[in-house]
Structure 1
Amino acid sequence: MLRQILGAVARRWVWLLSACIAAGAAAIFLIEGGPADGERDRDGRGVAVEVGTIERRDMRDIRRLDGSLEALSSYEVAPKIGAEIRSVEVRIGDVVEQGDLLARLDQREIEQEVAQAEAELEVARAELAERESTLQNAERELSRTRDLREREIASAADLEAAEAQVAAERSRKQLAEARIAQRQAALSAARIRLSFTEIRADWEGGEGERVVGERFIDPGATVSANEPILSLLDLSELRAVTFVSERDYGLISPGQGAQLSVSAYPQASFDAEVVRLAPLFQAGTRQARVELRVPNPQGLLRPGMFTRVSLQVDKIEDALTVPYDAIARRGGRTVIYPVTPEQDEDGEEVLKARQVAVEVGLRSDSRVVVRPVDEELGEGAQVVTLGQHLIGEQAEVEIVGEQLEAL
């Protein structure tokens, strides 16, 4: 029994050792660049590879950020007095203009206040008329007393009493006039409160239109002063809010153009412009807030939408580029494998892939800018994009997959 166990253990160790040797051989094979130069596969053909094209293009460095849309201008409509809601004239999504009626409050109590203020004003006016009449009588009596005094019929005391009476009546008239002003002010206040029972659209400037974003209350409910009942949004222009890391912060500045996309319109792109860049980074995320102005003339965009922001931070014109899949690492260097037609020993034309060291620059989508280290690369040439691990510094290849015409 022990002998069987030892035999099984020995077989397992032999199998693991063989696997390790095979893996090491494969790793050496890959690091050294695959088969020897000019080696063919077992059927005598070149190494099967796929290729792309070396092209000159204008390359753009695009940063793609996630964000959300907000209304550039929004405010909540609230009554200035507390009362019962009698009617709400708009619903969510309705478009309103300056001065449009939005809601009505119960007017009965305030109408009674207006009627009372009007009645009190009439009483004050009647009191004033009475005081004016009394003052006129006192002035006539003073005039008569002066005439009698000049003829020494009335005494000095009578004259003083008449003058005092006129002064008193003038004071009473002034008090009546003040009461009228007081009653007029009370009536004006009551009428203003009555006007507050009609809630109308009102915003600074008074231009353009607003859209009802939310409706918080229904008719029959009682609201207090300054309790929101509706929200109005300006959708002619929105604000996109996103966040950037410290690495990209220095590449963004106000006035920079951008493109936005939203899931609701996957085929559309919307123009935007950076307007604000926060001067600080949030402690929790180490990111800074970026705000962009987004014109919305057709009204397609809505606050709260998730958006993807594309910001161009760099551009290289007429750059030499290769497909990103063409980049490989060999011996600590970055290399590509251009394919060129050559003649073999028998005079037949074959395709050879040679190893060219390059420096990699800007990457955009599936292409990357390259600069050859030791030799020039021709525009329009083909370059290996799949199968680099099977070829060395120079090897015969056979193109499979999509064939490109130019060789």
Structure 2
Amino acid sequence: MTGAILLAAAVAALLQSRGPMVPTTRAVRSDLEQHLVVSGRVRVVTRVRFATPLAGRVVAVGAVEGQRVVPGDVLVQLDDAEARAEVAQAEAGVAQAAARVEQLRQVGAVVTSQAMREAEADLVRAEAELARVERLVEAGAATRASLEEARRQAELARARQRAADAQQTAAMPAGADTRLVLGALVESQGRLAAARARLAQMQVVAAEPGIILARLVEPGDAVSAGATLVEMAADGETELVIEPDERNLAWVRLGQRALAAADAFPQTVFDAEVSYIAPAVDPARGSVEVRLRVDEPPDILRPDMTVSVDLTVASNTDVVTLPADAVRGAATATPWVFVVEGGRLARRDVRVGIRGEGSVEIVSGIAPGTEVVLMDGPGLIEGQRVRPRPEVP
């Protein structure tokens, strides 16, 4: 029993003389990526607000928040009874004006042609009578008074012929009567178009596809002209807006690719690309606004959703790397590591490069294969004897 105790004590003393056991790893060559993960929100570039230019009373609301709509969907219906009556009245006015045009075309030509023929016949008779009286006066068989009367009758016939000619011209397509009735027709058609436009304004209709964001009225509500009734996010360009700390601004650049996922649907990962970097930093928060374009947004995205954006800000291939917890003072200007040389700890200053997930690039200071001590609490000092305990990477 005493011998066993002595043996155990001797072994313990030997181990103590060789120092404590410390976990170690070896520097290796590998590819490394540095990521910047930032939370943000979905922003819809095209946000449409629907309003009506007319005041009225809401009778139906077809818009439902979160619902997808397509062009032609009726979002809000106002009371249109009065507008429909105006359309009916205007349609009747157009029909009456059109009937007058047709009547002028069919009847006017017949009446004016007959009057023209009668006036021309009267003129021929009056001129023939004037010629006969003139011959009689020359022969001394008629008085000067009869000649004057014949001349007066001929002049009256000419006047009637000119009037009939003017009436016939007026009844033709370019005439004054035609212009009058056609003008009345055009005016009534204008009133009809205005009435139909007013009737159409009683409906708020989606002009493009999108998703309803807000329904701001209910049936029975009285709305004023210009009031917003519905808000919609139109299909089109979708953006993600993030605000990384200004200290990370150097890592962000236009055209940079990223992966993103909505917090509500973390399994759905989609691509994004940096499209805008604000020219100024928010002094209150010390952050900068960055926008990322989403060319193919998944259907699950909704405006103002919270998203996580993973930017690959740097990548290097075939570089010397160490686990992050092997580098001491990594956040300072003089990072360093403990290496094991001849069973003792030796400090080596290193220069670090990019930082990946759990790994750090070592630009200089140690070579691949160097055995490095992992963080294991305080108490280790340079020159101390230690016993390496390699950790499985």
Fold shared by both chains (TM-score > 0.5): yes
CA distance in 2, matches of 1:109, 1:120: 17
Shift of residue 291 of structure 1? 1.6
2:274 corresponding residue in structure 1: 274
| 2:359 equivalent among 336, 358, 367 | 367
CA distance in 2, matches of 1:370, 1:113: 82
Shift of residue 264 of structure 1? 1.9
- Is 1:114 aligned to residue 95 of structure 2? no
* Cα-to-partner distance string for 1:87-129 (whole Å, 9 max, x where unaligned): 1123112222222232322121011101111222233234435
Shift of residue 185 of structure 1? 1.9
1:193 corresponding residue in structure 2: 198
Cα gap change, 1:387 to 1:135, in 2 (>3 Å) = same
Q: How does 1:9-88 map to 2 (within 5 A)?
A: 44=17, 46-88=19-61
2:339 corresponding residue in structure 1: 338
2:158 corresponding residue in structure 1: 156
Shift of residue 223 of structure 1? 2.2
Cα gap change, 1:129 to 1:194, in 2 (>3 Å) = same
Tell me which amino acid in the other structure corresponds to 1:189. A
| 1:378 equivalent among 351, 356, 369 | 369
1:230 corresponding residue in structure 2: 230
* Cα-to-partner distance string for 1:145-170 (whole Å, 9 max, x where unaligned): 12331343652222223234445553
* Cα-to-partner distance string for 1:214-234 (whole Å, 9 max, x where unaligned): 111111112234422222224
Tell me which amino acid in the other structure corresponds to 1:77. F
- Is 1:143 aligned to residue 117 of structure 2? yes
**Rg larger for:** 2
Shift of residue 399 of structure 1? 5.4
Cα gap change, 1:322 to 1:388, in 2 (>3 Å) = farther
Cα gap change, 1:253 to 1:140, in 2 (>3 Å) = farther
- Is 1:95 aligned to residue 68 of structure 2? yes
* Cα-to-partner distance string for 1:351-390 (whole Å, 9 max, x where unaligned): 43333232222223432222444x63416x3423224652
CA distance in 2, matches of 1:126, 1:388: 106
Tell me which amino acid in the other structure corresponds to 2:369. G
1:358 corresponding residue in structure 2: 350
What secondary structure is seen at the aligned counterpart in 2 of 1:87?
A: strand
Confirm or deny: 8 A CA contact 1:135 1:173 kept in the other structure: no
Coordinate RMSD, CA, aligned? 3.3
Tell me which amino acid in the other structure corresponds to 1:191. R
* TM-score normalized by the length of structure 2: 0.75
Q: How does 1:146-225 map to 2 (within 5 A)?
A: 146-152=120-126, 155-167=157-169, 170-203=175-208, 209-225=209-225
CA distance in 2, matches of 1:157, 1:292: 86
CA distance in 1, matches of 2:286, 2:334: 34
The count of residues paired between Structure 1 and Structure 2 equals 346
1:320 corresponding residue in structure 2: 320
Tell me which amino acid in the other structure corresponds to 1:145. A
Shift of residue 405 of structure 1? 5.6
CA distance in 1, matches of 2:363, 2:191: 85
* Cα-to-partner distance string for 1:273-302 (whole Å, 9 max, x where unaligned): 112334555676675532211255542222
Q: What is the aligned-residue identity percentage? A: 27
Question: Which runs of 5 or more residues in structure 1 are unaligned?
Answer: 1-39, 204-208, 343-350
CA distance in 2, matches of 1:175, 1:93: 55
CA distance in 2, matches of 1:118, 1:387: 93
* Larger strand proportion of the pair: 1
CA distance in 1, matches of 2:265, 2:352: 35
CA distance in 2, matches of 1:194, 1:312: 55
What secondary structure is seen at the aligned counterpart in 2 of 1:385?
A: coil
Give the stretch that moved more between structures: 186-195 or 273-282.
273-282
Confirm or deny: 8 A CA contact 2:337 2:372 kept in the other structure: no
Cα gap change, 1:353 to 1:377, in 2 (>3 Å) = farther
Cα gap change, 1:137 to 1:319, in 2 (>3 Å) = same
What secondary structure is seen at the aligned counterpart in 1 of 2:126?
A: coil
Shift of residue 333 of structure 1? 5.6
* Larger helix proportion of the pair: 2
CA distance in 2, matches of 1:102, 1:117: 27
Confirm or deny: 8 A CA contact 1:84 1:221 kept in the other structure: yes
